[in-house]
A and B are shown apart, each in its own frame.
Chain A
Amino acid sequence: MLQNILDIWSKYNGEYVSGLITTLQISVISLIASLLLGTVIAIFCISPFRMLVIIGRAYVEFIRNTPLLIQIFFFYFGLSSLDIQLSSFVAGTLGLTVYTAAFIAEAIRAGINSIPKGQMEAARASGLTYIQAMRYVVLPQAFKIVIPPLGNQFINLVKNSSLLGVIAGMDLMYHADIISTNTFKTFETYILVGVFYLTITVPLSILVNWLERRLKRA
Chain B
Amino acid sequence: MIEFRQVDKYYGNFHVLQNINLTISEGEVVVIIGPSGSGKSTLLRCINHLEKISSGELIVDNINVHDRKTNLNVLRQEIGMVFQHFNLYPHMTVLENITLAPMKVRKIAREEAQKTARYYLEKVGLAHKADAYPNELSGGQQQRVAIARGLTMQPKIMLFDEPTSALDPEMIGEVLEVMKSLAREGMTMVVVTHEMGFAKEVADRVVFMDHGQVVEESEPKAFFESPKEERARSFLSRLLNH
A residues bordering B, Cβ < 8 Å?
116, 118-119, 121-129, 132, 136-137, 140-141, 144
Q: Are A126 and B83 in contact (CB under 8 A)?
A: no
Q: How far is the CA of A128 from the CA of B153 in the complex (A)?
A: 12
B94 to chain A, nearest CB (A): 14
Q: Which of the residues B50, B85, B88, B100 comes within 8 Å of A125, measured between beta carbons?
A: B50
In this complex, what residue of B is CB-closest to A118? Answer: B87
The answer for the CA separation of A122 and B236 in the assembled complex, in Å, is 32
User: Which residues of chain A have C-beta atoms less than 8 A from B87's C-beta?
Assistant: 116, 118-119, 121-122
Give the size category of B's interface with A.
Answer: 20 to 34
A-contacting residues of B (Cβ < 8 Å)?
Answer: 48, 50, 73-74, 76-77, 79-81, 83, 85, 87-91, 100-101, 104-106, 149-150, 153
Contact indicator B149/A126 (Cβ below 8 Å): yes
Contact status of A126 and B90, CB under 8 A, knowing A118-B85, A132-B104, A136-B100? no
> Which one of B85, B91, B101 contacts A126 once the chains associate, using CB atoms below 8 Å?
B101
Question: Which applies to chain A's interface (DSSP): helix, strand, loop or mixed?
Answer: helix
The answer to whether A141 touches B91 (Cβ under 8 A) is yes
Cα–Cα distance between A116 and B48 once the two chains are bound (Å): 19
A125, B90: Cβ atoms closer than 8 Å: no
A126 touches B105 (CB 8 A): yes
Q: Are B76 and A124 in contact (CB under 8 A)?
A: yes
Task: For the complex, give the distance between the alpha carbons of A122 and B105 in Å.
Answer: 13
A residues in contact with B150, CB < 8 Å: 126
Check if A128 sits within 8 Å of B89, measured CB to CB: no
